[in-house]
Amino acid sequence: MYRSQVLVCGGTGCTSSHSEKVIAALHREIEKHGLENEIKVIRTGCFGLCALGPIMIVYPEGSFYSMISEDHIAEIVEEHFVKGRVVTKYLYKETVTEDGIISLNDTNFYKKQHRVALRNCGVIDPENIEEYIARDGYQALCKAVNDMTSDDVINTIKESGLRGRGGGGFPTGVKWSLAKANDADQKYVACNADEGDPGAFMDRSVLEGDPHALIEAMAIAGYAIGATKGFVYVRAEYPIAVKRLDNAIKQARERGILGGKVFGSDFEFDMEIRLGAGAFVCGEETALMTSIEGNRGEPRPRPPFPAQKGLFGKPTVLSNVETYANIPQIILNGAEWFSSMGTEKSKGTKVFALGGNINNTGLVEVPMGTTLREVVDEIGGGIPKGKKFKAAQTGGPSGGCIPASLFDVEIDYDNLIAIGSMMGSGGLIVMDEDSCMVDIAKFFLEFTVDESCGKCTPCRIGTKRMLEILEKITSGKAELEDIDKLEKLCHYIKNNSLCGLGQTAPNPVLSTLRYFREEYIAHVVDKKCPAGVCKDLLQYSIDPEKCIGCSACSRVCPANAISGEIKKVFIIDQNTCIKCGACEAKCRFGAISKG
């Protein structure tokens, strides 16, 4: 029996910050003090607060050490584990108050969260099936195959109100019932773990921190629709997730959970992993299935839908990792439990990957209906350096930008669509006052153009024409009619593209035109970028009232564009200036500005 358990984040974020070195140092120091039988070190998945990694939590105290390095470990082991004194200087600062150390759940980042899909992430060893079982793991599958009919399972999912977390928000129970209604000799369950949105890492974190939850959920789905085989399509760029999922599948087989006669029933189910090569279009369900089949990942027309004709021409249920992660808890706790969370038409919780201009970068899970302001200002800790919130991009390249005027919007499927955005898989990029919304639209469109499979003309050609117009605007070469042409092109591409990639590609442009049209006009009419981001429209100048002639600016200019004499006002040659900003950064007197 261990007196202390030390949980160290082993997710991708903390691993990239050298958490493996922290774990190695812990083992060395624990062995040095002869504490091997008293202190247990556990490598977990993501705790969520990625901005503070590597993270280490010591139980039973619940001491939350953040931004730990191997150099801190000797002191922590000596003081905390040997002498029983928590080393407060290394604790997450929000847990340290004048009255003492508070629980992690009482901090701003965690207190408004409600973890369902992430319930085991950062809590268990994802490579140990025993720990998953100790947290009620596989009880839902056992209950389903032994105490419920397939119709009971489907009706429970329907009544829960669970909608797909991959972007479309289609009711999961309806999808299952459509697949079950098809009489076929073979059916499949598939999982989209491709997750190609920039800044999104929700599904990756579930796979890294709780892979058995996906296995259990897919087996339940297989039982519900009459499928015996499952495929997980996961990005090859997720090596930790792939390793842990593969390990979990092997453990489940060894326990008889996968294979024949699941939990003593007549139900048989097995699954395997298929690696994707990082094509964003393979996040579209028909392209994903085409790739699993061994062909080029291109979408195909719908109908028929996957529930009718999916993998290898057979009925298939396809959802993303987060959708599946909710299934075991719904079966165990009931439909009413899940539907009691969220809003009228968007039940349960949603996981978001917070990124961009925000203090608490990381992974959060909140009830549907939580406002954007709560997520950004309270959970996310607000904007760094006291800057103002300008917009948030939800749904990645398929979503839209939400302006500050809608900061109090309640986040759910219908509200986001109504304001020109979408839930997407859950990426949430925050932008401050220094962001150029035209440049943001161009960034996402560049991604979409690069990721288009090229199968249909509206997407292949249309998005390139859109990008060309945006490039004209940001370089100061556009006319007002180009804005109208851009908007018209957006609607054409939305209405005529074959798959969801092309149909949603114009969303970032349309939403920024809707809420930030004045920025487009400033770029075109005034030839100015209000945020000072678009290089072709920038002009650095030296204020003669503030310049003391120190020559610091000229000495750092890589283009030799600044000239002058010591103790006299310096001048920038606009024809030579490459607008790198080195001079502005170097000037200690605020004499250089851009506009």
5/544 Cα distance (integer angstroms):
63
- Indicate which CATH number applies to the domain containing 391: 3.10.20.600
Question: Domain boundary at 473, 504, 526, which?
Answer: 526
d(CA 581, CA 585): 6
Residues linked to residue 429 through DSSP beta bridges, in sequence order: 355, 393
Owning domain of residue 472: 437-526
Mean pLDDT on 94-101: 89
Q: How many CB atoms lie under 10 A from the CB of residue 519?
A: 23
- 392-419 confidence digits (pLDDT tens): 999 888 899 999 999 999 999 999 999 9
Q: Is residue 117, in this structure, part of any structural domain at all?
A: no
How confident is the model at residue 49, as a pLDDT? 95
Mean pLDDT of the chain: 95
Can you give the pLDDT at residue 409?
97
C-alpha span between 264 and 456 (Å, rounded): 49
Q: Do 590 and 546 form a contact (C-beta atoms < 8 A)?
A: yes
Residue 540 has pLDDT above 90, yes or no: yes
How many Å from the N-terminal Cα to the C-terminal Cα in the chain?
65
Question: 477 pLDDT exceeds 90?
Answer: yes
The Cα angle at residue 272 between residues 119 and 168, in degrees rounded to 5: 55
| The pLDDT of residue 550 | 96
Question: Are 145 and 263 in contact, with CB atoms under 8 Å apart?
Answer: yes
- pLDDT for 460: 95
So what's the pLDDT on residue 20? 97
> Residue 99 pLDDT more than 90?
no
At position 322, the amino acid (one-letter code) is E
Return the pLDDT at 430. Answer: 97
Query: Do 395 and 327 share a structural domain?
Result: no
The token pair at 408 is: 């109090």
Mean pLDDT is lowest, of 97-111, 236-250, 548-562, for 97-111
- Domain final position from 371, 406, 432: 432
Average pLDDT of span 545-550? 96
252 pLDDT more than 90:
yes
DSSP symbols for 273-299: EEEE-S-GGGGSHHHHHHHHTTS----
Tell whether 332 is covered by a domain: yes
The whole-number pLDDT of residue 224 equals 98
Same domain, residue pair 356 and 323: no
Query: What CATH code is carried by the domain that includes residue 576?
Result: 3.30.70.20
* CATH code for the domain of 268: 3.40.50.11540
Give 344-394 pLDDT, tens digit per residue. 999 999 999 999 999 999 999 999 999 999 999 999 999 999 999 999 999
pLDDT band at 166 (very low <50, low <70, confident <90, very high): confident
Residue 168 confidence (pLDDT): 80
Q: Does residue 185 register a pLDDT over 90?
A: yes
Domain presence at residue 114? no
- pLDDT band at 260, cuts 50/70/90? confident
In-domain check, residue 512: yes
Claim to verify: residue 260 and residue 174 sit in the same structural domain: yes
Question: What one-character DSSP code corresponds to residue 385?
Answer: G
CA 510, 516, 521, 522 dihedral sign is: negative
Q: At 200, is the pLDDT very low, low, confident or very high (cuts 50, 70, 90)?
A: confident
Work out the pLDDT band at 199, boundaries 50, 70, 90: confident
- pTM for the model stands at 0.93
Mean pLDDT, rounded, for 204-218 = 98
382 shares its domain with 272 = no
Q: Is residue 565 part of a domain?
A: yes
Is 252 in the same domain as 374? no
483 occurs within a structural domain: yes
Q: Is residue 76 part of a domain?
A: yes
Do 408 and 505 fall within a single domain? no
Does the pLDDT of residue 100 top 90, yes or no? Answer: no
Residue 226's pLDDT is what? Answer: 97
Q: What is the mean pLDDT of residues 27-36?
A: 97
Residues 147 and 291 in one domain: yes
Q: What is the dihedral of CA 356, 365, 104, 120, to 10 degrees?
A: -120
* Model confidence pLDDT, tens digit, residues 421-468: 998 888 899 999 999 999 999 999 999 999 999 999 999 999 999 999
Last residue of a domain, one of 432, 450, 484: 432
Would you say residue 231 lies in a domain? yes
Per-residue pLDDT at 446: 96
Residue 138 to residue 335: CA distance in whole angstroms: 18
Residues 268 and 322 in one domain: yes
Scanning 198-346, the segments in alpha helix (DSSP H) are 202-209, 211-225, 239-254, 285-292, 321-333, 335-339
356 and 307, same domain (yes or no)? no
The predicted pLDDT at position 89 comes to 96
Q: What pLDDT score was predicted for residue 98?
A: 84
Domain count, the chain: 5
Tell me if 379 sits within 8 A of 94, measured CB to CB. Answer: no
Between CA 292 and CA 333 the distance in angstroms is 34
pLDDT in the model for residue 337: 98
> Does one domain contain both 196 and 267?
yes
In this structure, the answer to whether residues 311 and 381 fall within a common structural domain is no
Task: Verify that 489 and 564 share a domain, yes or no.
Answer: no
